[in-house]
């Protein structure tokens, strides 16, 4: 009987444990939060469509009937790979026979870490609630502001990065600004609001075909988003974004432009790529150790073309399942290599529009949006969440009522934007 320790109760860690728990091993799952977070819908918490509880599930509850699973709420701060031991923030030490690391990713500011002080990223619930507070407070501040320049800076939204997260946020903020809050404020009008999406490249959503990417751009523009392509950000200051072409005075800066591996990976003595991801062996073990495995966003696993698999949920889920079978299988011979089954990808834009590739088919518009909605409901964990999210969507999209337009907390981040 092995003691298998898993760091991270995200998509990879949970998928591993759900498959491996029936084996004759002892498992310890460590996460710095007490919940699994469905990150694909995080932007909807940030833009007041959903509430945090709708897209989270308590990790402990998922394993209540598995006596061989122990759940620990703590942050792993160090890994001693030579003595098979982990150090936790609480000061506790945990030993392991095998270690699975699935700690996800963090933001990359391309060497400009001070930009994080002036902008909001979106990775966890605190980030989402900070963004939500900031957006909702900005409308309130604009309503009572006498100075016109300051008022316009509250009504100016700048989202940096035209990947899926930036696109989703821009579309959803535009819907909130131009549709949901219409007629509610007396001292500014809709024409004074600007939602800018800044992208350094020539297209948004560059992982899709030019045709789909162009369609997504049109959908966004129809929602009122001002698309700024080929515009590289040079600096982010307090309430200001400076690009190659322009400068934006704004109290709402959202950074959705860069990712790198979770900093915990730096504690390992192993080979990493330019994004800090561990370059793993075929069986997800790391170089310099035969008891540590890395999956999900923290791993660089090369597909058949030699390119790393993308940092998306299906990759982490499939890797978790594969590794669970491999580590808990009784026979040691004839182990199959991991093969990623790519079922396609989708990105929603807002206004009942999305784009996607399913197998050989490219889809867009309302049909794609319906697919997108269905897939997200299927993948959400728990019937209660599926049901509540469906109801919230009906209210938000068909009845124009966003469920969680609440300002009730101080921003956790020490951000001078506030
Ligand atoms: C805003 C956003 C939108 C996304 N949208 C999509 C989408 O539409 N479709 C899609 O397929 N993918 C999407 N993704 C990507 C997808 O969520 C990731 O690929 C997936 O979550 C990776 O799984 P993982 O297990 O590697 O990490 P995660 O799911 O991120 O889980 C990591 C876990 O590790 C824990 N952790 C981290 N560090 C420590 C530590 N030191 N100690 C203890 N615990 C720790 C975290 O609390 C977390 O629970 C999105 C990601 C984000 C941020």
- In order, the DSSP letters of 71-133 are EEE--EEEEETTTTEEEETTS-EEE-SEEEE---EEE--TT-TTHHHHSB--SSHHHHHHHHH
pLDDT at position 333, please? 54
pLDDT of residue 68 exceeding 90, the answer is yes
Mean pLDDT for 172-195 is 95
Q: The whole model's pTM is what?
A: 0.94
% residues pLDDT > 90 (the chain): 88
Is the distance from the beta carbon of residue 314 to the nearest atom of ligand 1 less than 6 Å?
Answer: yes
Is the distance from the beta carbon of residue 350 to the nearest atom of ligand 1 less than 6 Å?
Answer: no
Is the distance from the beta carbon of residue 8 to the nearest atom of ligand 1 less than 6 Å?
Answer: yes
pLDDT of residue 371 exceeding 70, the answer is yes
Rounded to the nearest integer, the mean pLDDT of the chain is 94
Rounded to the nearest angstrom, the gap between the alpha carbon of residue 267 and the centroid of all alpha carbons in its chain is 23
pLDDT of residue 418 exceeding 50, the answer is no
pLDDT at position 9, please? 98
pLDDT at position 416, please? 46
Which range (16-25, 111-120, 391-400) has the least confidence? 391-400
Q: Which atom of ligand 1 is nearest to the CA of 35?
A: 49
pLDDT tens, 132-167?
999 999 999 999 999 999 999 999 999 999 999 999
pLDDT at position 332, please? 58
How many angstroms separate the CA atoms of 284 and 319, rounded?
A: 8
Asked whether the beta carbons of 365 and 213 are under 8 A apart, the reply is: no
Q: Of 130, 313, 380, which is best to mutate to test ligand 1, by the most ligand atoms within 8 angstroms of its C-beta?
A: 313
pLDDT of residue 417 exceeding 50, the answer is no
Is the distance from the beta carbon of residue 169 to the nearest atom of ligand 1 less than 6 Å?
Answer: no
Q: Which residue has the higher pLDDT, 103 or 381?
A: 103
The Å distance, Cα 11 to ligand 1 centre, comes to 7
Q: Confidence class of residue 413 from pLDDT cuts 50, 70 and 90?
A: low
Instruction: Enter the DSSP assignment of 302.
Output: B
Q: Which atom of ligand 1 is nearest to the CA of 262?
A: 38
Q: Which atom of ligand 1 is nearest to the CA of 77?
A: 41
pLDDT of residue 29 exceeding 70, the answer is yes
Nearest Cα residue to 253 out of 166, 164, 313: 166
% residues pLDDT > 70 (the chain): 97
Asked whether the beta carbons of 138 and 154 are under 8 A apart, the reply is: yes
- In order, the DSSP letters of 38-76 are -GGGHHHHHTTSS-GGGGEEEHHHHTTT-TTEEEEE--E
How many angstroms separate the CA atoms of 47 and 175, rounded?
A: 9
pLDDT at position 359, please? 87
Task: List all residues 6 or more positions away from 140 whose beta carbon is below 8 Å from its beta carbon.
Answer: 407
Is the distance from the beta carbon of residue 165 to the nearest atom of ligand 1 less than 6 Å?
Answer: yes
Q: Which atom of ligand 1 is nearest to the CA of 296?
A: 26
Residues with a catalytic annotation lie at 168
Is the distance from the beta carbon of residue 103 to the nearest atom of ligand 1 less than 6 Å?
Answer: yes
The Å distance, Cα 381 to ligand 1 centre, comes to 15
Asked whether the beta carbons of 45 and 131 are under 8 A apart, the reply is: no
Dihedral over Cα of 296, 299, 305, 311: its sign: positive
The Å distance, Cα 104 to ligand 1 centre, comes to 5
pLDDT tens, 201-211?
999 999 999 99
Q: 337 phi and psi, to 5 degrees?
A: -75, 155
pLDDT tens, 340-369?
998 899 999 988 999 999 988 999 999 999
Q: Which atom of ligand 1 is nearest to the CA of 310?
A: 19
How many angstroms separate the CA atoms of 189 and 155, rounded?
A: 10
Sheet holding 156-160: strands in order across? Answer: 225-228, 194-198, 156-160, 252-255
Q: Of 104, 106, 268, which is best to mutate to test ligand 1, by the most ligand atoms within 8 angstroms of its C-beta?
A: 104
The residues pairing with 157 across neighbouring beta strands, listed in sequence order, are 195, 252
Mean pLDDT for 366-378 is 94
Q: Confidence class of residue 329 from pLDDT cuts 50, 70 and 90?
A: confident
Q: 268 phi and psi, to 5 degrees?
A: -90, 145
Is the distance from the beta carbon of residue 75 to the nearest atom of ligand 1 less than 6 Å?
Answer: yes
Is the distance from the beta carbon of residue 42 to the nearest atom of ligand 1 less than 6 Å?
Answer: yes
């Amino acid at each position: 009987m092995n003691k298998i320790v898993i760091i991270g109760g995200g998509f990879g860690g949970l998928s591993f444990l759900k498959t491996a728990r029936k084996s004759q091993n002892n498992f310890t799952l460590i996460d710095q939060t007490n919940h699994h977070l469905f990150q694909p819908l995080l932007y909807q918490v940030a833009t007041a469509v959903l509430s945090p509880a709708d897209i989270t599930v308590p990790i402990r509850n998922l394993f209540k009937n598995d006596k061989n699973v122990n759940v620990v709420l703590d942050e792993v701060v160090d890994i001693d790979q030579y003595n098979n031991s982990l150090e936790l923030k609480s000061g506790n030490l945990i030993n392991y026979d095998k270690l699975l690391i699935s700690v996800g990713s963090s933001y990359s500011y391309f060497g400009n870490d001070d930009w994080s002080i002036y902008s909001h990223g979106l990775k966890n619930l605190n980030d989402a609630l900070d963004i939500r507070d900031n957006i909702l407070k900005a409308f309130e501040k604009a309503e009572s502001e006498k100075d016109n320049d300051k008022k316009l800076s509250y009504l100016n939204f700048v989202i940096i990065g035209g990947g899926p997260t930036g696109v989703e946020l821009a579309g959803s903020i535009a819907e909130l600004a131009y549709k949901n809050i219409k007629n509610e404020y007396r001292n500014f009008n809709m024409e004074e609001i600007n939602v800018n999406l800044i992208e350094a490249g020539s297209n948004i959503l560059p992982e899709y075909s030019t045709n789909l990417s162009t369609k997504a751009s049109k959908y966004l523009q129809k929602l009122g988003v001002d698309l700024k392509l080929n515009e590289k950000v040079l600096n982010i200051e307090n309430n200001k974004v400076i690009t190659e072409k322009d400068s934006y005075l704004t109290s709402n800066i959202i950074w959705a432009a860069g990712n790198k591996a979770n900093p915990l990976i730096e504690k390992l003595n192993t080979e990493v790529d330019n994004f800090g991801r561990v370059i793993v062996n075929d069986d997800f073990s790391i170089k310099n150790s035969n008891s540590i495995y890395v999956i999900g966003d923290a791993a660089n696993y090369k597909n058949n073309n030699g390119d790393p698999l993308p940092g998306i949920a299906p990759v982490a889920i499939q890797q978790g399942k594969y590794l669970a079978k491999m580590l808990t299988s009784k026979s040691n011979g004839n182990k199959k290599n991991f093969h990623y089954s790519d079922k396609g990808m989708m990105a929603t834009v807002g206004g009942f529009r999305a784009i996607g590739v399913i197998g050989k088919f490219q889809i867009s518009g309302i049909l794609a949006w319906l697919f997108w909605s269905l897939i997200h409901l299927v993948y959400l964990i728990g019937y209660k969440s599926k049901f509540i999210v469906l109801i919230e969507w009906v209210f938000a999209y068909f009845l124009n009522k966003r469920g969680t337009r609440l300002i009730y907390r101080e921003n956790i981040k020490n951000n001078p934007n506030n």
